[in-house]
């Protein structure tokens, strides 16, 4: 059996590193960060989130603070979604785009006030995003990379609201999806948003780094009755893929546009100009050459990121692929020529030299049974 080679550069650690070791986590290099990939096991942690509640350290994520009197107009220019629609205490999913309309990154934008915003970006893209946002900002606006001042804990699953309810100063179950507030958790100041990357109800808790460990411990302790489990990035990946949430660097990057990624809903063409708009307008007229689609395997095998895909209309590529713990079978996302991207279309994946048949299917692969608080998710 061959083991994957591991790089030996100095890895960055989150404030929860020691606790991960104490909990017996298996740690891996994730984009330069030494992160827990699993504790008890990916399948078990995945199940914990789908059925109960899971607690994730995602402190590696980057945080940019955007302030100043022109913050709103600047963010309208920087991002394709319409920040003008956000009230104080609301956030949404959006992106930074290149002039070609492709993804510099995907991110969440939080509006605290019209002149104070928080942007949450992918860990490995943080320096790039910071430079990009600074370079493209307009008017009286200040962009700060505040990543070192934030730890981030995600609490995800049908029992998340009950768990957090026992610890937060304000009942989190009355937060709407993609709403947030500054409150306290286990006695520590925290920004709590009803967001996540798992396809379940859940919350993300932004904290000062020194408060991350006591809060994580309190969540584990309080969560015992709810069947809470610490969860690693392995389960985070299977959970997000079942929910068809894109992973930057796998499914989307600087070659993929929102139209191609089926993320057109984050692009508000009528809101006014923004970086990448012209290219997106052009592509909308011309039509997209390829589309990101969900697939299942017809033959045996697990298609993985980077495996070539072959269709009658040309070549494509698998961008994400794994064994779906919920469905008990292999699933994935692939960029396929548009002519070959309709649901039901068959194609072939080259799995390490073996041709295996696959079929385009509807996504998401998994959708939770019911919504909460009567507020529909903004997507």
Partner 1 sequence: MNPEDLHYTTSHEWVRIDGDVGTIGITDYAQKELGEIVYLELPEVGHMFNADDEFGTVESVKAVSELFTPLAGEIVDVNKAAIAEPGIVNDDPFGDGWLIKMKLTTDEEIAKLMSAADYAEYVKQEEKER
Least distance to partner 1, CB of residue 77, Å: 39
Contact assessment for residue 33 and residue 14, using Cβ atoms and an 8 Å cutoff: yes
Our finding on whether 300 is near partner 1 (CB under 8 A) is yes
CA distance 229 to 292: 32
Task: Candidates 74-82, 156-164, 190-198, 321-329: pick the segment binding partner 1 (CB under 8 A).
Answer: 321-329
Contact assessment for residue 163 and residue 184, using Cβ atoms and an 8 Å cutoff: no
CA distance 372 to 172: 12
Our finding on whether 10 is near partner 1 (CB under 8 A) is no
Q: Which is nearer to partner 1, 1 or 10 (CB)?
A: 1
Task: Candidates 81-89, 182-190, 322-330, 333-341: pick the segment binding partner 1 (CB under 8 A).
Answer: 322-330
Residue 168 token pair = 């937060």
Per rule CB under 8 A, count of chain residues that contact partner 1: 24
Within 27-86, the residues that bind partner 1 by CB under 8 A are 37-38, 41-44
Our finding on whether 2 is near partner 1 (CB under 8 A) is yes
Query: Which of 14, 79, 126, 322 contacts partner 1 by CB under 8 A?
Result: 322
Q: What angle do helix axes 71-78 and 126-136 make, rounded to 10 degrees?
A: 110
Residue 195 token pair = 């967001």
Contact assessment for residue 76 and residue 84, using Cβ atoms and an 8 Å cutoff: yes
Residue 170 token pair = 């304000």
Our finding on whether 26 is near partner 1 (CB under 8 A) is yes
Query: Which of 6, 10, 87, 344 contacts partner 1 by CB under 8 A?
Result: 6
The pattern of x and - marking residues 348 through 377 that bind partner 1 according to CB under 8 A reads: ----x-------------------------
Q: Which is nearer to partner 1, 149 or 300 (CB)?
A: 300
Query: Which of 36, 172, 316, 330 contacts partner 1 by CB under 8 A?
Result: 330
Q: Burial letters for 333-362: b for 16+ Cβ neighbours within 10 Å, e otherwise?
A: bbbbbeebbeeebebbbbbeeeebebebee
């Amino acid at each position: 059996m061959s083991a994957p080679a591991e790089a030996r550069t100095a890895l960055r650690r989150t404030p929860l590193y020691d606790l991960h070791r104490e909990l017996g986590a298996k740690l891996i290099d994730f984009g330069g960060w030494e992160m827990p990939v699993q504790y008890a096991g990916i399948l078990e942690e995945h199940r914990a989130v789908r059925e109960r509640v899971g607690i994730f350290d995602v402190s590696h994520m980057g945080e940019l603070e955007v302030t100043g009197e022109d913050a709103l107009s600047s963010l309208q220019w920087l991002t394709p979604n319409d920040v003008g629609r956000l009230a104080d205490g609301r956030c949404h999913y959006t992106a930074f785009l290149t002039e070609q309309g492709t993804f510099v990154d995907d991110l969440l934008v939080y509006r605290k006030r019209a002149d104070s915003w928080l942007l949450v970006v992918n860990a490995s893209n943080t320096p790039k995003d910071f430079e990009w946002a600074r370079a493209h900002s307009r008017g009286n606006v200040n962009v700060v990379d505040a990543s070192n001042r934030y730890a981030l804990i995600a609490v995800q699953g049908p029992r998340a609201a009950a768990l957090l309810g026992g610890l937060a100063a304000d009942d989190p179950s009355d937060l709407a999806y993609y709403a947030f507030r500054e409150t306290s958790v286990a006695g520590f100041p925290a920004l709590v948003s009803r967001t996540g990357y798992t396809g379940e109800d859940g919350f993300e808790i932004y904290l000062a780094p020194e408060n991350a460990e006591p809060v994580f411990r309190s969540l584990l302790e309080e969560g015992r009755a709810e069947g809470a489990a610490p969860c690693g990035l392995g389960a985070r990946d299977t959970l997000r893929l079942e929910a068809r949430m894109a992973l930057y660097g796998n499914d989307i990057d600087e070659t993929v546009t929102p139209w191609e990624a089926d993320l057109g809903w984050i692009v508000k063409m009528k809101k006014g100009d923004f970086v990448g708009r012209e290219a997106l307008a052009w592509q909308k007229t011309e039509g997209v050459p390829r589309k990101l689609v969900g697939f299942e395997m017809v033959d045996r095998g697990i298609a993985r990121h980077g495996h070539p895909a072959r269709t009658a209309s040309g070549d494509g590529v698998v961008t994400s692929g794994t064994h779906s713990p919920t469905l008990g079978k292999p699933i994935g996302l692939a960029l396929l020529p548009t002519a070959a991207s309709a649901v039901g279309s068959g194609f072939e994946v080259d799995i390490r030299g073996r041709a295996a048949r696959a079929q385009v299917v509807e996504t998401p692969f998994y959708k939770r049974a019911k919504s909460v608080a009567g507020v529909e998710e903004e997507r």
